[in-house]
Amino acid sequence: MRRYLIFVQKEFFHILRDKRTILILLLLPVIQIILFGFALSTEIRNANITVVDFAKDNLSAELTGKLAASEYFTVTPAGTVQEGEKSIQRGDADLMLVIDRDLKKGIVTGKPEIALQLVTDASDPNKARLVANYAAAIAGSSEILQDLSRIAGEKGNNIPPAGSVNITERMLYNPAMKGAYNFVPGVMGLILMLICSMMTSLSIVKEKERGTMDLIYVSPVKPLAVVTAKMIPYLALSLVNLITILLLSKFVLDVPIRGSLFLLSVLSVVFILVSLSIGLLISTLVSSQMAALVGSGMVLMMPTVVLSGMMFPIESMPLFLQVISTVIPARWYIEGVREVMIQGLGLSYIAKELLILTGMAMVLLVVSIRKFKARA
Amino acid sequence: MILKYLIEKEFKLIQRNSFIKRIVIMLPVMVILLLPYAASYDIKDLNILITDNDNTLASRQLSHKILSGGYFRSVPMAPESYDIFLEIPRDFEKSLKSGSVINLNISANAINGNKAGLGTGYLNEIIKDFIGMQGPDISIINRYNPQMNYRVFMIPALMVMLLTIVCGFLPALNIVGEKEDGTIEQMNVTPVGKFQFIFAKLVPYWIIGLVILTITMILAFFIHNLVPAGSIATMFLASALFIVAISGFGLLISNNSSTLSQAMFVMFFFILIFILLSGLYTPIESMPEWAQFITKLNPLTYFIKIMRAVYLRGATLADIAPLLGYISIFVVIFNLWAILSYRKRS
């Protein structure tokens, strides 16, 4: 046992003496939480709208004023349609509102589509759709425009709406629509994967490269003990990061931990086991640090970021990608964390995720330890 | 003359490294083949639960209209399995005919706020369209991507990401790799100058980057039918500049690291920030001011803007000239710094 602890100590020294790496590893979750929490938002605000106003009357002034006053738009006037299109092409403007000279006449005669024209930059389709809707809604709220439409309706130039509807929207679990609720579980999955898999495989392969692994093999310590001793510091490091993330998200981002903390810990420990055994498996397959880096980068990080549902919704992907995503451990972990942490669900709801992860952990552990022994 | 041999040496090293060759071919194929389908905020097939309390012809028609649009699919009545929940009130048909106000309730699972926002937006549009109540009649023209295909929007950005990863990481691992192998000592005793040393390291990545760009453009054309709207030469010019900037940054990190894993994590840290704070995934205008300031110090911001403008909207060289100017500043700073930080003495 004492011998084993000395081995663990040796591994801790390895990590703690590389100040820069450990600094990055401890800072990474903090930076990610701050970036995702405060800087990154898919909400559209301050979209640049360029207005070409040929009417120059009180209605067009009101429309422009309303657009400028809303938090969604920043208005820049343009003299000609060509000028406006050019600024869309350059990427300076997201959409252009063209107000025709006969604006009022157009509305009164029931042809507002001629009087008001929106040109969007649909190269970003979601943004185009959202900003066009916002702009149309803001334009529709103009009182002068509503008065004129009423006149048009009285003249029989406009078909009055068949009914009116009052839609109440409720945003469950996340009424403020904060992005943080979605990505905190994602960041947890990514960081754990990064530290446990990448770092573990790197540290083992490094010893192979340097030849120090052979020294360990000839020592009286059993290979299995060597490997587990290597894993313990990374386990500790990832737990530190996990706690950092949870504290930051609770106290800085106000993301609640609604479910049981115990359940969350169990889920995380199982996922950490999966990641550690993937790291071990990679280290048995490759012989150079470069290969380990590239291997874990391409086989682990990319699919984890893209296919785990951390950034992009899985159900919108084509079927074959959805199938691939089922073998990615982070997918199940992130789903489980969301359910426990944000939705506050109990064990029965995450049983599926927990079972899948446990299964993965067992298979991977057995396979990687076998392979490791075979080589040792 | 020394330069020629140095470059030859770098090429030989890369050529003999089967990993790098595989990355140069496989990574672009993987990224362009799969990522546009996965990395998408295109929302479709949302799970919707419709509770129809009216159960009349009109309410069933509304349900059908919602489910047939491709945005929503019905899920069985099970708690927590739906993304959106719509309740149709009992007197829906009656109110619809009499023209009185209809009250509808929509609840969305908003853990993913973006998904919930777009989903309820679509649902609103469909309902209003069904009831015959549209907003003010403004004609909307969608330029540059009339089919509103999200993949088209992502492809130029993915090219930028690919160039950043390959031409950033490989140089970052290069010099520090020589340090670990011990070959840097041999280089240090030769009369090779700092500038020559760094320049010779840059050239191969420059060519690798341009090869990757070519592969991705060909793939984008054959797989996603995406034809560049602007001039290809302009894109190559911008990419050539950008690659020098990001490779210079990689070499700078490499010079200042002592082990491979250190270089790798430092680079990972920076590339993560570069990619997230560049407008690649989320619009810059929506960021708080301090974050918008950081985006200005990020070469990717300008390069993504260029690629989207030229590739998708056909902007000309004159349009993007100022952006090219900004990238040139990064080229000079990063590479000068890389040259100065290479020391023969340890």
pLDDT digits (tens, 9 = 90+) for B304-340: 989 988 988 888 888 889 999 999 999 999 999 988 8
Please, which residues 255-284 of chain B have a Cβ atom closer than 8 Å to chain A? Answer: 257, 259-262, 264-266, 268-269, 272-273, 276-277, 281-283
Strand order in the sheet with B84-88: A165-172, B102-109, B84-88, B46-52, B72-74
Contact residues, chain B, for A184 at CB < 8 Å: none
pLDDT at B149: 75
pLDDT band for position B94 (cuts 50, 70, 90)? confident
Q: Give the mean model confidence (pLDDT) for residues A318-332.
A: 87
pLDDT at A163: 46
pLDDT at B243: 94
Query: What's the token pair of residue A323?
Result: 């199938």
Contact residues, chain B, for A143 at CB < 8 Å: none
Own/partner long-range contacts of A293-296 (Cβ < 8 Å, ≥24 apart): A293/A198, A293/A202, A293/B173, A293/B260, A293/B261, A293/B264, A294/B19, A294/B23, A295/A201, A296/A197, A296/A198, A296/A201, A296/A202
Contact residues, chain B, for A49 at CB < 8 Å: none
CA distance B100 to B102: 6
Distances (CA, A) of B149 to A230, B7, B46, B142, B233: 48, 43, 18, 11, 25
Burial of B94 (0-12, 13-18, 19+ CB in 10 A): middle
**How do B139-143 and A116-121 pair as beta strands?**
parallel
pLDDT at B126: 83
Q: Give the mean model confidence (pLDDT) for residues B12-35.
A: 81
Size of chain A, expressed as the number of residues it contains: 376
As a whole number of Å, the end-to-end CA separation of chain A is: 21
> Inter-chain contact B80–A349, Cβ cutoff 8 Å?
yes
- Maximum average pLDDT range among A262-276, B16-30, B173-187: A262-276
Tell me the sheet residues that pair with B270: none
Please, which residues 30-49 of chain B have a Cβ atom closer than 8 Å to chain A? Answer: 30, 34-35, 37-47
> Inter-chain contact A167–B124, Cβ cutoff 8 Å?
yes
Please give the model's pTM, rounded to 2 decimal places.
Answer: 0.80
Query: What's the token pair of residue B45?
Result: 């097939």
Closest CB from B131, B138, B268 relative to A162 = B131
Contact A213, A204 (CB under 8 A): yes
Which chain A residue has the Cα nearest residue B229?
A: A89
Which of the pair, A187 or B214, is modelled with greater confidence?
B214
Q: Is the pLDDT of residue B135 over 60?
A: no
Closest CB from A39, A165, A167 relative to B291 = A39
pLDDT at B245: 94
pLDDT band for position A270 (cuts 50, 70, 90)? very high
B318 touches chain A (CB under 8 A): no
Which of the pair, A278 or A254, is modelled with greater confidence?
A278
> Inter-chain contact B111–A343, Cβ cutoff 8 Å?
yes
| Inter-chain CB pairs, A–B, below 8 Å | 313
Closest CB from B43, B121, B288 relative to A39 = B288
Contact residues, chain B, for A165 at CB < 8 Å: 101-102, 104, 127-128, 131, 133
Query: pLDDT (tens digit, 9 = 90+) per residue, A194-229?
Result: 888 888 888 888 888 888 877 777 777 777 787 788
> Inter-chain contact A169–B149, Cβ cutoff 8 Å?
no
Q: How far away is chain B from the Cα of A1, in angstroms, using its nearest Cα?
A: 30
Report the residue of B138, B273, B290 to disrupt the A interface, i.e. the one with the largest count of A CBs within 10 Å.
B138
Contact residues, chain A, for B266 at CB < 8 Å: 20, 24
Closest CB from B137, B143, B260 relative to A119 = B143
CA distance B24 to A312: 26
CA distance B166 to B159: 11
Q: How far away is chain B from the Cα of A345, in angstroms, using its nearest Cα?
A: 9
pLDDT at B41: 67
> Inter-chain contact B153–A125, Cβ cutoff 8 Å?
yes
- Residue A46, amino acid: N
Q: Which residue has the tokens 């084509």?
A: A318
pLDDT band for position B79 (cuts 50, 70, 90)? low
What lies within 8 Å, CB to CB, of A240 at 6+ separation is A26
Which chain A residue has the Cα nearest residue B146?
A: A122
- Maximum average pLDDT range among A189-203, B25-39, B83-97, B329-343: B329-343
Closest CB from B37, B144, B283 relative to A317 = B37
What lies within 8 Å, CB to CB, of A88 at 6+ separation is A50, A94, A95, A96, A119, A121, B143, B313
Burial of A196 (0-12, 13-18, 19+ CB in 10 A): buried
pLDDT at A160: 45
Q: How far away is chain B from the Cα of A97, in angstroms, using its nearest Cα?
A: 9
Tell me the sheet residues that pair with A168: B105
B78 touches chain A (CB under 8 A): no
Which of the pair, B75 or B30, is modelled with greater confidence?
B30
Please, which residues 140-199 of chain B have a Cβ atom closer than 8 Å to chain A? Answer: 140-146, 148-150, 152-153, 169, 173, 177, 180
Contact B194, B235 (CB under 8 A): no
pLDDT at A42: 67
> Inter-chain contact A88–B146, Cβ cutoff 8 Å?
no
- Residue B43, amino acid: I
pLDDT at B333: 94
Q: Give the mean model confidence (pLDDT) for residues B205-211.
A: 91
Q: How far away is chain B from the Cα of A106, in angstroms, using its nearest Cα?
A: 11
Which chain A residue has the Cα nearest residue B292?
A: A39
> Inter-chain contact A119–B141, Cβ cutoff 8 Å?
yes
Q: Is the pLDDT of residue A155 over 70?
A: no
Mean pLDDT of chain B: 84
Q: How far away is chain A from the Cα of B1, in angstroms, using its nearest Cα?
A: 31
Contact residues, chain B, for A45 at CB < 8 Å: 285-286
Question: Predicted ipTM?
Answer: 0.76
Q: Which of A211-215, B45-49, B83-87 has the lowest mean pLDDT?
A: A211-215
Q: Is the pLDDT of residue A162 over 50?
A: no
Query: pLDDT (tens digit, 9 = 90+) per residue, A231-244?
Result: 888 888 888 888 98
What is the share, in percent, of chain A residues with pLDDT greater than 70?
90
What is the share, in percent, of chain A residues with pLDDT greater than 90?
5
Closest CB from B26, B39, B264 relative to A312 = B39
Query: What's the token pair of residue A202?
Result: 């790197």
Closest CB from B127, B259, B291 relative to A165 = B127
Closest CB from A38, A165, A342 relative to B288 = A38
Q: How far away is chain B from the Cα of A369, in angstroms, using its nearest Cα?
A: 24
CA distance B157 to B316: 18
B99 touches chain A (CB under 8 A): yes
Element of type H or E holding A331: helix A329-337
CA distance B96 to A2: 80
Contact residues, chain A, for B309 at CB < 8 Å: 89-91
> Inter-chain contact A168–B105, Cβ cutoff 8 Å?
yes
Burial of B346 (0-12, 13-18, 19+ CB in 10 A): exposed
Report the residue of B47, B54, B84, B140 to disrupt the A interface, i.e. the one with the largest count of A CBs within 10 Å.
B140
Residue in A324, A319, A29, A349 with CA at minimum distance from that of residue A183: A29
pLDDT band for position A159 (cuts 50, 70, 90)? very low
List phi, psi (to 5°) of B181.
Answer: -75, -20
Question: Rg of the Cα trace of chain A?
Answer: 29
Contact A118, A135 (CB under 8 A): yes
pLDDT band for position B164 (cuts 50, 70, 90)? very high
What lies within 8 Å, CB to CB, of A355 at 6+ separation is none
Query: pLDDT (tens digit, 9 = 90+) per residue, B213-264?
Result: 999 999 999 988 888 888 999 999 999 999 999 999 999 999 888 888 888 8
Q: Is the pLDDT of residue A352 over 80?
A: yes
pLDDT at A161: 45
> Inter-chain contact B282–A338, Cβ cutoff 8 Å?
no
Contact A168, B103 (CB under 8 A): yes
- Maximum average pLDDT range among A276-280, B88-92, B277-281, B326-330: B326-330
CA distance A97 to A236: 57
Q: Give the mean model confidence (pLDDT) for residues A256-285.
A: 88
Alpha helices in A197-328 (DSSP H): 200-210, 212-218, 223-251, 261-285, 289-296, 302-307, 319-325
> Inter-chain contact B286–A42, Cβ cutoff 8 Å?
yes
B289 touches chain A (CB under 8 A): no
Please, which residues 49-68 of chain B have a Cβ atom closer than 8 Å to chain A? Answer: none
pLDDT at B134: 47
Q: How far away is chain B from the Cα of A365, in angstroms, using its nearest Cα?
A: 24
- Maximum average pLDDT range among A1-15, B37-51, B308-322: B308-322
Which of the pair, A47 or B129, is modelled with greater confidence?
A47
Query: pLDDT (tens digit, 9 = 90+) per residue, A82-127?
Result: 888 888 888 888 888 888 888 887 777 766 667 788 888 888 877 8
